[in-house]
Amino acid sequence: MTAITREPESDVDSMFIDRWSPRAFLPDPIPAHHIRMLFEAARWAPSCNNDQPWRFAYAVTPTAREKFLSALVERNQAWARTAPLLILALARRAFQNSTTINRHAGFDTGAAWMSLALQARRLGLYCHAMAGFDATKAHQVLGTSEQEYDIFAAIAVGRRADPSTLPEPARQRETPNSRKAAALVADEFT
């Protein structure tokens, strides 16, 4: 098997490399003030026109988490059910107090999620985003409308557990992955 390198090609703050998406989570609850810090980090993300289109719905109680889990595809449910905090990341489709569609809402919500994920690492937590969920089901659970909001991701958050706690095939995949070459990321336009 090829060894996976998570070596940067240039100097970069280690926080960017330290963030990765495990699947093995401890069920230990996250203190409420740490949860508030995650959303505070998200809150300060930049956004088009400072519209702040993101909205994070979160579940910590067993009943609420079960409802969020019901919207996930089975292969994500299998590992995400252990995480003590589940989040659904929504973005308002139109600018506030307007019917004009905000085509940057996904970009802005992505920035907010990354802020949340980096703050999580500062607290010793890990986040794992998921596209594997049924958006219609998630809207039903939340009582939100597809006309008003896009749901971009579900996110599992918690402390890492030993990979041996995972069901297969997730157990085998519990390693930080690598990236395409830096040369493929940015092109100087001349």
Ligand X SMILES: Cc1cc2nc3c(=O)[nH]c(=O)nc-3n(C[C@H](O)[C@H](O)[C@H](O)COP(=O)(O)O)c2cc1C
Footprint on this chain of ligand X (rule: CB under 6 A): 20-21, 76, 129-132, 153, 176-177
CB 35 within 8 A of CB 60: yes
CB of 32 to ligand X, least distance (A): 26
Q: How many residues does the chain have?
A: 190
Residue with Cβ nearer ligand X (59 or 151): 151
User: Angle 32-43/105-122 helices, nearest 10 degrees?
Assistant: 140
Shortest separation between residue 132's beta carbon and ligand X, angstroms = 3
User: Tokens 């980090």 correspond to what residue?
Assistant: 41
Element (H, E) at 87: strand 85-92
- Give min distance, CB of 86 to ligand X, in A: 13
Toward ligand X, which CB reaches closer, 32 or 55?
A: 55
Q: Considering beta carbons, is residue 31 or 182 the nearer one to ligand X?
A: 182
Helix (H, G, I), strand (E, B) or coil at 129: strand
Residue nearest to ligand X (CB): 132
Minimum distance from CB of 100 to ligand X (Å)?
25
Q: Is the dihedral of CA 29, 34, 37, 41 positive or negative?
A: negative
Distance of CA 8 to the CA centre of its chain: 22
Closer CB to ligand X, residue 18 or residue 40? 18
> What is the Cα–Cα distance from 168 to 32, expressed in whole angstroms?
32
